[in-house]
Structure 1
Amino acid sequence: MSDSPTSAAALLVDCLIAQGCERIFTVPGESFLAVLDALVERPQIDLVTCRQEGGAAFMAAADGALTGRPGIAFVTRGPGATNASIGVHVAHQDSQPMILFVGDVARPMQGREGFQEIDFPAFFAPIAKWAARIDDPQRIPELVARAYAVAISGRPGPVVLALPEDMLAEAVPASLAPRPMVLRPAQAVCPDALAALRDLIADAASPVAIIGGAGWNAKARHYFQQFAERIGLPVATAFRRQDAIAPDSPVYAGNLGYGPNPKLVERIRNADLILAVGARLGEATTEGYTLPSPDHPGQVLVHVHPDPEELGRVYRTDLALCCSPDEFAECAALWDTGAIIPFGAGAEAHREWLEWATPRPSGAALDLASCVAAMREALPADTILCNGAGNFAGWWHRYWRYSAYPGQLAPTCGAMGYGLPAAVAAALRFPERCVVALAGDGDFLMNGQELATAAQHGANLLVVVVDNGAYGTIRMHQEREYPGRVSATTLSNPDFAALARAFGGWSARAETTEAFIAALTEAKDRPGIRLIHAVTDLEHIAASGATISGLRSRPG
């Protein structure tokens, strides 16, 4: 191997290639020009130019969720990094692998509060698995490999590496080779723990499973579904993890989170055994740590999670298994279940979910339940749905069938503006699949500029903007807590259809269900950007049937 020097930036890019990186999302900055220059000669990596660092970081987080390998973003120091921090927060709370590289001030400038200087290891420490600075270019292979290992091991999550500008331009020996690809370690299941679990299930009268989360993948979905169906175990999915099991599984009981089926809530409250696999049992999934409660009196909790620090951290756990969800699911699927009498509750729970998840028209001019039903008829079963935060998503969470894996990109941390960037990442990752971005009017304008990224990079995606002229979720809470006293939640919106046309897309405005269905029929087979501006009535504020008038009349 030649000993002629190369730049640290070129070495960094070669290390990314060695780790399997094939796409980078970025907003360019002068602090990492050397990296951008190195990428010119390395066509193995597709460089996606984004319009705001928050959008770039959302795309990287979504790409990590789709592939199970770290999504990669490059941003500049100061404003670029702080903008990108929202994507790091999503990757952290959603347990998704991601690496954010931040161009930093030159090493002689550090500690002087130079131009746009931030102490990035300190800034990102609370929301990243690991945050560090690479000051020595000869350690690039070591630290990049470590970043991948940290991001994908245990509970997956984000890593942040700061790159001093002068370090990137420094020469390093060409003999300094990238390290081989880091693979996710398989975490074996303890046979004794499996035997104990089998006994607990055999003794249970009304068990239920809550699945989806850290380390969940297609293998986990396949084998856990086999296991649950063999014993008739009702299976609920954690908040915004609805693709963790096929919706047509005869034991699928529905999803937890905001606005769940009341019958599913009662089933979990009455369960004598709860088997949580992959799920953190966070606030949204558990209705504020009440379903179950951290001490869950009268209930046995078995928690399967790939990170030992998560087990027993919030919940008293009767049996903790630290292992990969897919390894656990495969072992469970191969069990000799002779001692377990199959439960009839799985089929009963599935019937209850089917009844709850059947769209029923509300009488609104543009009825979102009927719109979801129309989308189910018109779009392929393997469609990927991407949404940010807001009540608008409740109709799809309740009525859509998340049939494929991966099939759902939705931030469990409730970040607005996620849906469109996530859809861009999904459309680039799976160009053969239908990708839908769902957004509320407030949600969409958080990152609507990424339509430019979709157009520039040829992404095919359908965008549905649900416009009720308000920050609807906040208005719902406002009407509940302070009836009739509207403050700061009313929105004056642009013509979203015209905005899509400005980006070169096709669009339509729909104020009735019939107009929405007609627009969907025309849009579904078109290429490129297609946007339906769905104008709804604020009075109908949630998929659960909540209305503004109903909230106002509700007792305090």
Structure 2
Amino acid sequence: MTLRTGGQILVDQLRINGCDRIFTVPGESFLAVLDALHDAPEIETIACRQEGGVAYMADADGKMTGRPGIAFVTRGPGATNASGGVHVAFQDSTPMILFVGDLDRADRDREGFQEFDFPAFFGPIAKWAARIDDARRIPEYVARAWRVATVGRPGPVVLAIPEDMLRDCVEAADRPAVPPVAECPDPGAIGALFELLKDAAAPIAIVGGADWSPRAAHHFANFAVRHGIPVAAAFRRQDAIDNRCGVYAGQLGYGPNPRLQQRVRDADLVIAVGARLGESTTDGYKLITPDHPGQTLVHVHPDPNELGRVYHADLPICADMGEFAEMVDDWTDPDLVRFSTGEDAHREWLEWSEPKPRDGVKLDLGHCVAAMRDKLPANAIICNGAGNFSGWWHRYWRYGPMPTQLAPTSGTMGYGLPAAVAAALRFKDRPVVCVAGDGDFLMNGQELATAAQYGADLLVILVDNGSYGTIRMHQERDYPERISATTLANPDFVKLAEAYGGQGWRVETTADFAPALDAALAAEGIRLIHCVTDVEVITNQTTISSLRGKS
């Protein structure tokens, strides 16, 4: 073995495990890593503008690849800025590893410059948080981090890396790449599932979440179509199966189809695959209650700790999602009668997802989404953060095979643009669209500089109602006509796009949107369509006046 710095050893472990891209805001606390990356051209280093953008990009990259998204930030404010992305990765079950440069080991516990206890800070929002104090153990820690981030319910790992440790020159044995672990389902459990299906009158499946993959999507869609089972997507998991699938029933979460909600209430058998059945998907644990009297619950999840954690499962199945989906796809049972409810549910979703004319609305976002459907291919990747603007795309966009949706189930604002940058770098041959609200966009709008620097080709649809719209909606509901802290004064977003070397179009009417979209799709690089909307038209179902009880 030869002597290497800790920074070199760390970069070598990333290379061994197939890492091809990292996201960072550089810090003096990990200069040894940056120096080693200089000699690792197979790992692209993306310098971002704020650590929140770093962590969101790493989360999005993990969602798209199924491998840990890799982020490097410095201590103190760098780490705390990145913590929002760690929380997203935790709630979204995304594999991610965040490396945090730390102060010298000898200075610990003196409240040195930007010091705090990283394992204690990140422990509650990460699967594992630790510090590497010995450069010779870097291969061990990285291998463990890779395994923890990907096994069972995927999630984020945080490793603090002291500056002086990274400069140490030591001998260390590299560890081989961490192989994937796939737990096969028990055939007896699959047989029990089919027995429950034979006894059911109105089954429904809810899919998407931890460990979901294109393989799982393909095989589960085959299974559901063959048996006529309606398939609903968990909140912001709308690409869990291709929406063109003949039994796709729509998404659960905020603003779902009431007829889909009623199907879930009427179901005598619920098959949850990958989903945790969290608060958003279950409408505050009311659509399906944790004890679900009168319903049988089959809960399939890759992590045994999730089974029975909140929901009583009549049939818990711990398995890799791809392995489970392939086994049910291959399983044959000649006594199982095909259900007709799958096609019925799909027809209801098609009707629900078709925008209807709205009188008196100058810029109708539903019809803007329909125009996008006509002009963008099924493999377009739609990225969004949080805000009522997202409801139009959740309802009217038709997502293709995954990955085509990058959206945080944790409801964080500022996610869409960093995710779009990561997607544009990962899939250079596919259209990437960031959909953002005005308040949402300005939380990480500076990452347009990152997009420009690395030649990212992306389109931003910016919905500007001059308000924190979701909070305004709740404010009007609870405190009518008492507006406080929800009004925004915004910049000229077209000029802002131009300042980053892009192009922009301002749209104020529905008729103006399609021509602007045509022009944007004919261009390259950063393109932004600034949609100026009326705050009174707050969602695709609600107006401010109706919240005030005036209509």
Instruction: Classify the TM-score, shorter chain.
Output: over 0.9
Q: Which runs of 5+ in 2 are unaligned?
A: none
Q: For residue 112 of structure 2, what is the amino acid of its counterpart? A: G
2:406 aligned partner = 409
1:459 aligned partner = 456
Tell me how far apart the structure 2 counterparts of residues 183 and 213 of structure 1 sit (CA, whole Å): 21
Helix, strand or coil for the counterpart of 1:337?
coil
Q: For residue 133 of structure 1, what is the amino acid of its counterpart? A: R
Q: For residue 499 of structure 1, what is the amino acid of its counterpart? A: L
Tell me how far apart the structure 1 counterparts of residues 279 and 324 of structure 2 sit (CA, whole Å): 25
2:194 aligned partner = 198
1:365 aligned partner = 362
Helix, strand or coil for the counterpart of 2:45?
strand
Helix, strand or coil for the counterpart of 2:387?
coil
Q: For residue 237 of structure 1, what is the amino acid of its counterpart? A: A
Deviation at 1:379, TM superposition (A): 1.1
Helix, strand or coil for the counterpart of 1:117?
coil
The number of residue pairs the alignment matches comes to 550
Tell me how far apart the structure 2 counterparts of residues 484 and 366 of structure 1 sit (CA, whole Å): 24
Cα shift readout 1:228-286 (whole Å, capped 9, x = no counterpart): 00110010000000001111111111100000000000000010000000000000000
Alignment of 1:256-405 (within 5 A): 256-363=252-359, 364-405=361-402
1:168 aligned partner = 166
Contact 1:216-1:278 within 8 A present in 2 as well = yes
* 1:509 and 2:500 aligned: no
TM-score (norm 1): 0.98
Tell me how far apart the structure 2 counterparts of residues 183 and 539 of structure 1 sit (CA, whole Å): 53
Tell me how far apart the structure 1 counterparts of residues 179 and 270 of structure 2 sit (CA, whole Å): 31
Tell me how far apart the structure 2 counterparts of residues 389 and 103 of structure 1 sit (CA, whole Å): 30
Residue 479 of structure 2 is aligned with which of 482, 499, 517?
Answer: 482
Tell me how far apart the structure 2 counterparts of residues 110 and 90 of structure 1 sit (CA, whole Å): 29
Deviation at 1:183, TM superposition (A): 2.5
Helix, strand or coil for the counterpart of 1:303?
strand
* 1:450 and 2:452 aligned: no
Deviation at 1:381, TM superposition (A): 1.4
Residue 12 of structure 1 is aligned with which of 6, 10, 13?
Answer: 10
Helix, strand or coil for the counterpart of 2:522?
coil
Cα shift readout 1:139-177 (whole Å, capped 9, x = no counterpart): 00011011000000000000000000000000012xx23
Tell me how far apart the structure 2 counterparts of residues 468 and 183 of structure 1 sit (CA, whole Å): 48
Contact 2:301-2:320 within 8 A present in 1 as well = yes
Alignment of 1:37-52 (within 5 A): 37-52=35-50
Deviation at 1:486, TM superposition (A): 0.6
Q: 1:291 to 1:105 in 2, by over 3 A?
A: same
Cα shift readout 1:272-310 (whole Å, capped 9, x = no counterpart): 000000000000000000110001000000000000110
1:103 aligned partner = 101
Contact 1:92-1:128 within 8 A present in 2 as well = yes
Tell me how far apart the structure 1 counterparts of residues 394 and 253 of structure 2 sit (CA, whole Å): 10
Contact 2:240-2:401 within 8 A present in 1 as well = no
Deviation at 1:515, TM superposition (A): 1.5
Cα shift readout 1:460-502 (whole Å, capped 9, x = no counterpart): 0000110001000001111111111111001111111110000
Deviation at 1:554, TM superposition (A): 7.0
Tell me how far apart the structure 2 counterparts of residues 209 and 88 of structure 1 sit (CA, whole Å): 29
Q: For residue 266 of structure 1, what is the amino acid of its counterpart? A: Q
Deviation at 1:333, TM superposition (A): 0.4
Tell me how far apart the structure 1 counterparts of residues 495 and 513 of structure 2 sit (CA, whole Å): 16
Tell me how far apart the structure 1 counterparts of residues 479 and 333 of structure 2 sit (CA, whole Å): 54
Residue 217 of structure 2 is aligned with which of 221, 238, 245?
Answer: 221
Contact 2:214-2:401 within 8 A present in 1 as well = no
Helix, strand or coil for the counterpart of 1:280?
coil
1:81 aligned partner = 79
Helix, strand or coil for the counterpart of 1:154?
coil
TM-score (norm 2): 0.99
Identical-residue share of aligned pairs (%): 66
Q: For residue 323 of structure 1, what is the amino acid of its counterpart? A: A
Helix, strand or coil for the counterpart of 1:242?
coil
1:253 aligned partner = 249
Tell me how far apart the structure 2 counterparts of residues 58 and 469 of structure 1 sit (CA, whole Å): 25
Tell me how far apart the structure 2 counterparts of residues 46 and 348 of structure 1 sit (CA, whole Å): 48
Helix, strand or coil for the counterpart of 1:59?
helix
Tell me how far apart the structure 2 counterparts of residues 365 and 143 of structure 1 sit (CA, whole Å): 57
Helix, strand or coil for the counterpart of 2:443?
helix
- The list of structure 1 runs, each at least 4 consecutive aligned residues, that deviate by more than 3 angstroms after superposition, is none
Contact 1:383-1:404 within 8 A present in 2 as well = no
Contact 1:384-1:407 within 8 A present in 2 as well = yes
Cα shift readout 1:479-531 (whole Å, capped 9, x = no counterpart): 11111111100111111111000000011111111222111000112110000
Tell me how far apart the structure 2 counterparts of residues 227 and 23 of structure 1 sit (CA, whole Å): 36
RMSD between aligned residues: 0.9
Helix, strand or coil for the counterpart of 2:225?
helix
Helix, strand or coil for the counterpart of 1:446?
coil
Cα shift readout 1:111-148 (whole Å, capped 9, x = no counterpart): 11111001000000000000000001100001101100
Deviation at 1:27, TM superposition (A): 0.1
Q: For residue 183 of structure 2, what is the amino acid of its counterpart? A: Q
Contact 1:390-1:440 within 8 A present in 2 as well = yes
Tell me how far apart the structure 2 counterparts of residues 139 and 361 of structure 1 sit (CA, whole Å): 63
Cα shift readout 1:344-402 (whole Å, capped 9, x = no counterpart): 11111111111101111323111100100000111121100000000000000001010
Contact 1:480-1:554 within 8 A present in 2 as well = no
